[in-house]
Amino acid sequence: MTELIKKSQRNGLVKMYLSSIFADPERTARLIDIAQSSFLPLLKGAIFYTIPLTIITFIVGLVLAILTALARISHVRIFQMIARVYVSAIRGTPLIVQLFIIFYGLPNIGIIIDSYTAAVIGFSLSVGAYTSEIIRAAILSTPKGQWEAGYSIGMSYSQVLRRIILPQAARVSIPPLSNSFISLVKDTSLASLVLVSEMFRKAQEIAASNYEFLLVYSEAALIYWVICFILSIIQQVLEKKLDRYV
Amino acid sequence: MISIQGLYKQFGKLEVLKGIDIEVEKGNVVVVIGPSGSGKTTMLRCLNVLETPTKGVISIEGNTLDFSGNVPKKNIAAFRRLTGMVFQSYNLFPHKTALENVMEGPVIVKNENKESARKKAQTLLEKVGLGDKVDYYPAQLSGGQQQRVGIARALAMEPKVMLFDEPTSALDPELVGEVLKVMKDLATEGMTMIVVTHEMRFAREAADEVIFMDQGVVVERDKPENIFTNPKEERTKKFLNMIQ
């Protein structure tokens, strides 16, 4: 044992891990086998859970965010208050605690929600609160003259909002919203703790059976990275498209 | 006919309009002049209720809003459609082409059929000399061109009166002429117009009446030839001396 530690200090841990693999052809074969056999289950976790969960919660969250932002900038006191309390409560508590309250806590008062739905509710509420501030800032950044121009040709509040303000707000909010979306992809790994069999949970299950934690978790990390990399390319395309008229 | 009676507007404690009475005959062009802070822009903005008057009655061809009581939002929207507004800073919709800017009102507010609205918008843009720029976005147009799209956008709603809020103040000097020409053409066609401007030549050449405002009241109103050559009020004289 002391021999091992000394050796690791001399060679560095990574080097040691690698050499322990390649010095032993049997172990190398085993690792390649594990990497191959775990790729498909991980990918399935991503395709059937991680990605849909991200997309659904982002859409629901965005609707919530627009409503919250509108409530914040409305002149109705009670709407303002509700929106403020909602944003404050969600931002002021950890996401994992919110998920646990919804999935493990609510059954105590007779509300039983399956794990996937619980995750959708939890993440949507979180996305809604955080991105409502982005939407609010984007709406406020649209010049007042745009509202006036809309009103002056006889449009109603909702027509101006839908046709004039939100399209312009969308352009400025693409970069911060992309940030939120990419964060969300990774945050969905928390759903593993409320028993959703998304990618990270799959990784935990695989690693628990073969003890190759470094390999399996690295593989999962790589898949997350690829997803996020593709998303940032989509962001660039979207920005370019919406920038054409400025 | 357009009339404003006993119009008051306060911003907090600041009284900007202190009892304005104005009538404008159908087909007339009225130019409003006055120093900055005189309330001329506020008066114009009250006329299409972008500012809600504190008190007063405004009416356009029999449609009346009385601000001594509560005025329902629906009435305000209906009243606004009688007016067309041209803004100092154009306020075109940047995400829409010139044509789409002009079509927006007819299609969305009046529920006009898209094809006929497109044709009408095309005609209007040709009228303001932009027939070859219909598919340009505002950012691709010069200030003068943008303002002419702004005029076409307002005309598309077929208003009873056109309101111009310092339409050439934000323009480079060499671009002022093209906008004034469009406005003069409109005046010749018999459009009722209320124009807040510093362009005295336009007032002289196109106005049926010039109104001089100062400190929230109408100081003097007269035919342009009289007001520019022989103003009656001391304050009018002083103002005209300062700008000429």
Please work out, in degrees rounded to the nearest 5, the angle formed at the alpha carbon of residue B174 by the alpha carbons of B171 and B178. Answer: 80
Place of tokens 């976005």: B137
pLDDT value of residue B96? 95
| Mean pLDDT estimate for chain B | 93
Are A79 and A149 in contact, with CB atoms under 8 Å apart? no
Q: Which residue of A has its CA nearest to B157?
A: A153
Beta-bridge mates of residue B15: B10
Cβ of A164 and B93 within 8 Å?
A: yes
Sign of the C-alpha dihedral, residues A78, A84, A85, A90? positive
d(CA B23, CA B77): 22
Distance from the Cα of A83 to chain B's closest Cα (Å) equals 25
Q: Which residue of B has its CA nearest to A155?
A: B109
CB-based contacts of A206, cutoff 8 Å, min separation 6: A34, A38, A41, A42, A216
Phi-psi region of A86 (alpha: psi -120 to 50; beta: other; left: phi over 0): alpha
pLDDT value of residue A197? 84
pLDDT grade for B159, boundaries at 50, 70 and 90? very high
Quote the percentage of chain B above a pLDDT of 90: 87
d(CA B145, CA B150): 9
Cα A14 to its chain centre, rounded Å, is 31
Q: Hey, what domains does chain A have and what are their CATH numbers?
A: 38-243 (1.10.3720.10)
Chain A residues whose CB is inside 8 A of the B138 CB are 245
pLDDT grade for A246, boundaries at 50, 70 and 90? low
Tell me the per-residue pLDDT of B63-90, one tens digit each, with 9 for 90 and over.
Answer: 999 998 888 888 898 899 999 999 999 9
Phi, psi of B220 (to 5 degrees): -155, 145
**How many CB atoms lie under 10 A from the CB of residue A153?**
28
pTM as predicted: 0.82
Q: Could you say which of A143, A152, A171 has the minimum Cβ distance to residue B85? A: A152
Chain B residues whose CB is inside 8 A of the A159 CB are 108-109
Are B98 and B136 in contact, with CB atoms under 8 Å apart? yes
Phi, psi of B224 (to 5 degrees): -60, -40
Question: Which of A151, A153, A172 best probes binding to B when mutated, by most B CB atoms within 10 angstroms?
Answer: A153
**What is the average per-residue pLDDT within B206-216?**
94
Task: State the burial class of residue B1 (Cβ atoms within 10 Å of its Cβ: 0-12, 13-18, 19+).
Answer: middle
Element (H, E) at A137: helix A115-141
Q: Is the pLDDT of residue A7 over 80?
A: no
Q: What is the 3-state secondary structure (H, E, C) of chain B?
A: CEEEEEEEEEECCEEEEEEEEEEECCCCEEEEECCCCCCHHHHHHHHCCCCCCCEEEEEECCEEEECCCCCCHHHHHHHHCCEEEECCCCCCCCCCCHHHHHHHHHHHHCCCCHHHHHHHHHHHHHHCCCCCCCCCCHHHCCHHHHHHHHHHHHHCCCCCEEEEECCCCCCCHHHHHHHHHHHHHHHHCCCCEEEECCCHHHHHHHCCEEEEEECCEEEEEECHHHHHHCCCCHHHHHHHHHHC
pLDDT value of residue A9? 65
Q: Is the pLDDT of residue B37 over 80?
A: yes
Nearest to B231 by CA among B211, B203, B207, B205: B211
Chain B contact present for A158, CB below 8 A: no
Are A45 and A202 in contact, with CB atoms under 8 Å apart? yes
Are A192 and A201 in contact, with CB atoms under 8 Å apart? yes
Tell me the per-residue pLDDT of A18-27, one tens digit each, with 9 for 90 and over.
Answer: 776 677 788 8
pLDDT value of residue A5? 66
Chain B contact present for A162, CB below 8 A: no
Distance from the Cα of A175 to chain B's closest Cα (Å) equals 18
pLDDT value of residue A10? 62
**What is the average per-residue pLDDT within A62-77?**
94
Chain A residues whose CB is inside 8 A of the B153 CB are 149, 153
Q: Is the pLDDT of residue A8 over 70?
A: no
Tell me the per-residue pLDDT of B95-151, one tens digit each, with 9 for 90 and over.
Answer: 999 999 999 999 999 999 999 999 999 999 999 999 999 999 999 999 999 999 999
B interface residues, A as partner, C-beta within 8 Å: 48, 50, 77, 80-81, 83-85, 87, 89, 91-96, 104-105, 108-110, 137-139, 153-154, 156-157
Quote the percentage of chain A above a pLDDT of 90: 65
Chain A residues whose CB is inside 8 A of the B167 CB are none
Distance from the Cα of A246 to chain B's closest Cα (Å) equals 6
Q: Which amino acid is at B119?
A: K
Cβ of B83 and A149 within 8 Å?
A: no
pLDDT value of residue A34? 87
d(CA A164, CA B178): 28
d(CA B12, CA B20): 19
Cα A230 to its chain centre, rounded Å, is 14
Q: Is the pLDDT of residue A203 over 70?
A: yes
d(CA B54, CA A213): 72
Chain B contact present for A171, CB below 8 A: yes
Cβ of B154 and A152 within 8 Å?
A: yes
Q: Is the pLDDT of residue A13 over 80?
A: no
Q: Which residue of A has its CA nearest to B96?
A: A245
Cβ of B81 and A154 within 8 Å?
A: yes
Chain A residues whose CB is inside 8 A of the B83 CB are 152
d(CA A50, CA A90): 22
Q: Could you say which of B50, B94, B96 has the minimum Cβ distance to residue A151? A: B50
Distance from the Cα of B30 to chain A's closest Cα (Å) equals 20
d(CA B73, CA B78): 9
From A69-73, A108-112, A190-194, B85-89, the region with the lowest mean pLDDT: A190-194
Helix orientation angle between A51-73 and A77-91, rounded to the nearest 10 degrees: 140
Nearest to A178 by CA among A101, A242, A93, A114: A242
pLDDT value of residue A4? 65
**What is the average per-residue pLDDT within A140-149?**
95
pLDDT grade for B181, boundaries at 50, 70 and 90? very high
Q: Which amino acid is at A186?
A: K
Cα A101 to its chain centre, rounded Å, is 19
